């Protein structure tokens, strides 16, 4: 049964690749990040336009942002998205310290900004990508950014108050063991369930297969050592001075949109909180048109201010 399910996922991915017009492949660059880890980074769009740096969440890759880089946003903005260490096409060191040292993530983001000569970009950090951006802010501050869009973030992990920011279907809950299992059938089943839980609207078969595939590019041994570092970024949030837009889907089961949204909004002076009806953790897919319009407006406003 489980073997059949795995074959079905693989088959649907093949069908998807054959039947659906592929999203544009961006210009690729290999960037050396913290500790010498090689990061895979792509860019699209108007190289002379305001820049947007997309930072994905745990077990994802730059490909999760295809509804943004393969959209009208690319006509006006310089879009850059990286694969975080351990994810996608980037290096996957096996040392736990490579994934639980704040300065390494900070240096990763700084290296991408420098390599792509991104001047005052808006940084978009989704889910666990919020921890990565906070690592960067902790070391480098926000002086080189025009603005920040936190998407479905909690910013706390493994510290008092963090539990109430989680959703009922958080990947650190019931599905964690399967996601980190060395047994392929367990990993496949759990990954499919996890991906389905992130979207409020049922994903089309081709998109479901694609997102499951990019999730599984992070090996189980790497999944097992991700996100174990206790973090409380309250001090970092309080020091943010650039404009901040917060985006949460009201049907999110990974992060609690109410408690997390209000906590982060209260911690950042002047942050704008946007809620999306009929959207889950993947709100930028569930409500792609509205999200892209909101992001366009935010980038334009921050660019005029910078």
Angle at 47 between CA 46 and CA 52, to 5 degrees: 80
Structure tokens belonging to residue 91: 């290096």
Instruction: Encode pLDDT of 29-46 as tens digits.
Output: 999 999 999 999 999 999
In three-state secondary structure terms, 151 is: strand
| pLDDT above 70: residue 263 | yes
Instruction: Give me 5's structure tokens.
Output: 């399910």
pLDDT at 305: 55
**What is the C-alpha to C-alpha distance for residues 67 and 175, in angstroms, rounded to an integer?**
26
* pTM given for the model: 0.91
Would strands 231-232 and 244-249 be described as parallel, antiparallel, or unpaired? unpaired
Quick one: tokens of 97? 């310290």
Q: Where are the domains of the chain?
A: 2-305
What pLDDT score was predicted for residue 19? 38
pLDDT for the residue 154:
95
pLDDT band at residue 197 under the 50/70/90 scheme: very high
Mean pLDDT on 9-23: 45
Residue 98: DSSP 8-state: G
Please check the confidence at residue 132 and state whether its pLDDT lies above 90.
yes
pLDDT at 177: 57
Provide CB contacts within 8 A for 192, sequence distance 6+. 5, 9, 208, 212
The whole-number pLDDT of residue 24 equals: 76
Residue range 275-287, pLDDT digits in tens: 999 999 999 999 9
The pLDDT tens digits of the residues spanning 39-83 come to: 999 999 999 999 999 999 999 999 999 999 999 999 999 999 999
Q: For 140-191, how does the pLDDT look when each residue is reduced to its tens digit (9 = 90+)?
A: 999 999 999 999 999 999 999 999 999 887 554 445 556 665 666 677 888 8
Is it the case that residue 252 has pLDDT exceeding 50? Answer: yes
pLDDT at 169: 75
Of the candidates 51, 70, 73, 45, the residue with the CA atom closest to the CA atom of residue 296: 73
**In which band, very low, low, confident or very high, does the pLDDT at 304 lie, cut at 50, 70 and 90?**
confident
CATH class entry, domain 2-305: alpha beta
- Read off the pLDDT of each residue in 19-37 and give the average, rounded to a whole number: 82
Q: Which of 263, 65, 291, 53 is nearest to 155 (CA)?
A: 263
Work out the mean pLDDT of the chain and round it to a whole number. Answer: 89
**Tell me, what's the pLDDT at 224?**
85
Q: What is the pLDDT of residue 20?
A: 41
């Amino acid at each position: 049964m489980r073997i059949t399910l795995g074959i079905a996922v693989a088959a649907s991915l093949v069908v998807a690749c054959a039947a659906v017009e592929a999203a544009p492949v961006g210009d690729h660059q290999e960037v050396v990040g913290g500790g010498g880890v090689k990061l895979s980074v792509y860019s699209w769009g108007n190289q002379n336009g305001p820049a947007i740096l997309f930072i994905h969440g745990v077990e994802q890759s730059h490909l999760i942002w295809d509804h943004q880089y393969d959209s009208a946003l690319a006509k006006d903005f310089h879009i850059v998205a990286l694969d975080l260490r351990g994810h996608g096409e980037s290096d996957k060191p096996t040392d736990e310290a490579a994934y639980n040292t704040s300065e390494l993530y900070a240096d990763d983001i700084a290296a991408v900004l420098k390599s792509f000569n991104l001047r005052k970009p808006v940084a978009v950090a989704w889910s666990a990508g919020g921890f990565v951006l906070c690592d960067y802010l902790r070391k480098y501050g926000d002086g080189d950014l025009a603005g920040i869009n936190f998407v479905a973030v909690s910013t706390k992990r493994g510290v008092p108050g963090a539990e109430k920011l989680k959703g009922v279907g958080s990947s650190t809950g019931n599905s964690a063991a399967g996601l980190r299992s060395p047994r392929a059938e367990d990993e496949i089943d759990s990954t499919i369930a996890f991906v389905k839980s992130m979207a409020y609207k049922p994903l089309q078969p081709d998109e479901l297969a694609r997102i499951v595939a990019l999730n599984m590019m992070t090996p189980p041994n790497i999944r097992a050592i991700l996100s174990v570092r206790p973090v409380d970024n309250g001090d970092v949030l309080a020091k943010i001075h650039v404009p901040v837009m917060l985006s949460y889907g009201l049907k999110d089961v990974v992060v609690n949109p109410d408690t997390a949204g209000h906590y982060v909004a209260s911690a950042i002076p002047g942050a704008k909180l946007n809620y999306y009806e009929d959207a889950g953790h993947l709100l930028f897919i569930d409500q792609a048109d509205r999200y892209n319009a909101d992001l366009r407006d935010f980038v334009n406003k921050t660019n005029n201010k910078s």
